[in-house]
Amino acid sequence: MCINPPLYRNKKTQTVILRICGAAKPPSAGNLSAGMSENLHQLRCFGCGARISGVDASPDFRCADCGDLFEVEYPGWGERKGPDRPNPGALKWLWRERRCSAEGLDHSGVWRFRELLPILESFGNAVTLREGNTPLYHLPRAARRLGIDQLYAKHQGMNPTGSFKDTGMTAAMSVAKERGFEWVACASTGNTSASMAAYATRAGLKSLVLIPDGKIAWGKLSQAMDYGAVTCQLKADFDGCLTLLTEIVNEAPIYLLNSVNPYRLEGQKTPAFEIAEAFDWNVPDHLIVPGGNLGNSSALGKGFREMHELGLVARMPKISVIQAAGANPLVRSLAEHGGKSLEPVEAHTRATAIRIGNPASWRKAARAIQETGGWCLDVTEAEIAIAKAEIGAEGLGCEPASAVTLAGLKKLRAEGKIASSETVVLVLTGHSLKDADYTIDFHRGTLLTADESAGREAEIVSLQRNAQVVEATPAAVLAALKGRAG
Ligand code: F0G
């Protein structure tokens, strides 16, 4: 039913794909990968270019020669007429077709694109919670206010554990399972730990979480507990937690699942495919992403770069990264050192997800911004809170860290860096319920200090919708509607 055109020039690989899409007897998940993932990936050091095989990476995923991070690379894709180079037209067709497939793996918005992440020996080892396939929403109110017609939100908070981390976790957890690890671990500002704990227990693995004491949102902590992680709250910030965990994994056989793990980024590149597919493979002009440890912006950059190199799309979108003003090391690095070096900062922001002063993937993120002609800027606490309330008023909601995207877009628009004719996609990274305390404090007027809201008071009050205590009579309830018409 789905035989032409060929997906790969390589006959062996092609045969496997035909079996995947049902031309032959439908395969079990266990035999999907033979030939397809074999030797297709290796790791390349982002700093010195050294190449190693995936199984040879050190436990902290740092290059033995220069200490930089690795990227997954697929050597067969480099040769224009090489047998392992995927066929763009056939892949687009297959990926869309899989949305109606009965095969479990096809229901994942990550593994639906598995030809572009051949990282497993067997796709039967994939640990999936049916992540991805997240909605792309139009933002009509913000679009009108900003004078941009084509403004969308890719809501990664609509993933199984409520954040974008799930797309990366399914990939890296599958590698952990395939390589026989018993324990996995991460340092986290909350979402990685929630996601890791969920995928670990699905995989039958045990998980260790290191989090900064008192600095993560309750919704996220509750998830790690519920999914059964060993959760340690440390008197350290995120950067301190990650440093400590690096020492631990270098001593004990525990698989590190922070975004320094290059397989995380392989999963996290797939929303780029979904975005391109949603626009019928015409990429938007501009993608705006929050920046914390900078894995996500790096991964999305890789996704668009690979699609471009393989001829799936004609160009890359501009990729802009937005940080909180109190946690802006990449903004400073680009402004002061042209992105060539980065000085860690002591991070402070109520957007706790991005309270990171020494981001691991800063070089990769700097490349994504620079090669696409995007920008990197920071936004204040008031700007984040206002933007978050505006996204709530669209009927979507998101967690504070995600709202930096809209706050950043407003600045870019005010500075004339984005034209009204451009198509813009904001990447919303976390669900609104992750940090309900922040939202309630905003609406009660207890979130921001007077200094922080100075000059924006009227705007803030116009967005606040505090709950009211009302007598239990129709008249009292109807009276509460007064002043809210329109
Ligand atoms: N948005 C949310 C909701 C996040 O949880 C994070 C990171 C980011 C944005 C930033 O993404 O690190 O790839 O630049 N959260 C991590 C965690 C650090 O531990 O959950 P990044």
Q: What is the mean pLDDT of residues 13-38?
A: 38
Task: Give the integer Cα–Cα distance in Å for 339 and 334.
Answer: 4
Confidence of residue 9 (pLDDT cuts 50, 70, 90): low
Task: Give the integer Cα–Cα distance in Å for 426 and 416.
Answer: 18
Q: What average pLDDT is seen over the chain?
A: 91
Q: Which of 154, 158, 191, 234 to mutate to test the pocket of ligand 1 (most atoms within 8 A of CB)?
A: 191
Paired with 73 in beta bridges are 42
Task: Give the integer Cα–Cα distance in Å for 376 and 423.
Answer: 18
pLDDT tens by residue, 285-333 = 999 999 999 999 999 999 999 999 999 999 999 999 999 999 999 999 9
Any atom of ligand 1 within 6 Å of the Cβ of 430: yes
Note the pLDDT of residue 79: 73
Q: How far away, in angstroms, is 435 Cα from ligand 1 center?
A: 13
Note the pLDDT of residue 83: 73
**11 pLDDT higher than 50:** no
CB neighbourhood size of 25 (10 A): 7
Confidence of residue 95 (pLDDT cuts 50, 70, 90): very high
Q: What is the mean pLDDT of residues 364-372?
A: 98
Note the pLDDT of residue 257: 98
Note the pLDDT of residue 10: 55
Pairing of strands 136-138, 151-155: antiparallel
Any atom of ligand 1 within 6 Å of the Cβ of 162: no
Q: How far away, in angstroms, is 173 Cα from ligand 1 center?
A: 18
Q: What is the mean pLDDT of residues 71-75?
A: 94
Q: What is the mean pLDDT of residues 471-477?
A: 96
CB neighbourhood size of 382 (10 A): 22
Any atom of ligand 1 within 6 Å of the Cβ of 161: no
Q: Which of 221, 108, 211, 227 is nearest to 168 (CA)?
A: 108
Q: Which of 146, 86, 137, 94 is nearest to 116 (CA)?
A: 86
- Token readout for 296 is 């996500």
Q: How far away, in angstroms, is 475 Cα from ligand 1 center?
A: 46
- DSSP line for 259-299: TTSHHHHHHHTHHHHHHHHHTTT---SEEEEE-SSSHHHHH
Q: How far away, in angstroms, is 429 Cα from ligand 1 center?
A: 8
Q: What is the mean pLDDT of residues 65-72?
A: 97
Omega of the bond prior to 5 within 30 degrees of 0, cis? yes
- 184-203 per-residue burial string, b: 16 or more CB within 10 A, e: under 16: bbbbbbbbbbbbbbbbbbbb
Task: Give the integer Cα–Cα distance in Å for 171 and 290.
Answer: 21
Q: Which of 363, 346, 364, 365 is nearest to 355 (CA)?
A: 346
**484 pLDDT higher than 80:** no
Q: Which of 363, 358, 396, 403 is nearest to 380 (CA)?
A: 403
Return the minimum-mean-pLDDT range out of 7-16, 263-272, 402-411: 7-16
Confidence of residue 6 (pLDDT cuts 50, 70, 90): low
Note the pLDDT of residue 7: 58
Identify the residue whose tokens are 């026989």: 180
Q: Which of 95, 255, 73, 108 is nearest to 176 (CA)?
A: 255
**8 pLDDT higher than 90:** no
Confidence of residue 4 (pLDDT cuts 50, 70, 90): very low
> Which atom of ligand 1 is closest in space to residue 186's alpha carbon?
19
Q: How far away, in angstroms, is 473 Cα from ligand 1 center?
A: 45
Q: Which of 154, 239, 293, 391 to mutate to test the pocket of ligand 1 (most atoms within 8 A of CB)?
A: 293
Q: Are 261 and 398 in contact (CB under 8 A)?
A: no
Helices and strands of the chain, counted as H and E runs:
18, 13
**374 pLDDT higher than 90:** yes
CB neighbourhood size of 209 (10 A): 30
Task: Give the integer Cα–Cα distance in Å for 308 and 302.
Answer: 10
**18 pLDDT higher than 50:** no
Q: What is the mean pLDDT of residues 51-74?
A: 96
Any atom of ligand 1 within 6 Å of the Cβ of 392: no
Q: How far away, in angstroms, is 155 Cα from ligand 1 center?
A: 14
Q: What is the mean pLDDT of residues 379-402?
A: 98
Q: Are 418 and 148 in contact (CB under 8 A)?
A: yes
16, 164, 234, 266, 384 from 290: Cα distances, Å: 38, 11, 25, 18, 11
Note the pLDDT of residue 19: 42
Any atom of ligand 1 within 6 Å of the Cβ of 128: no
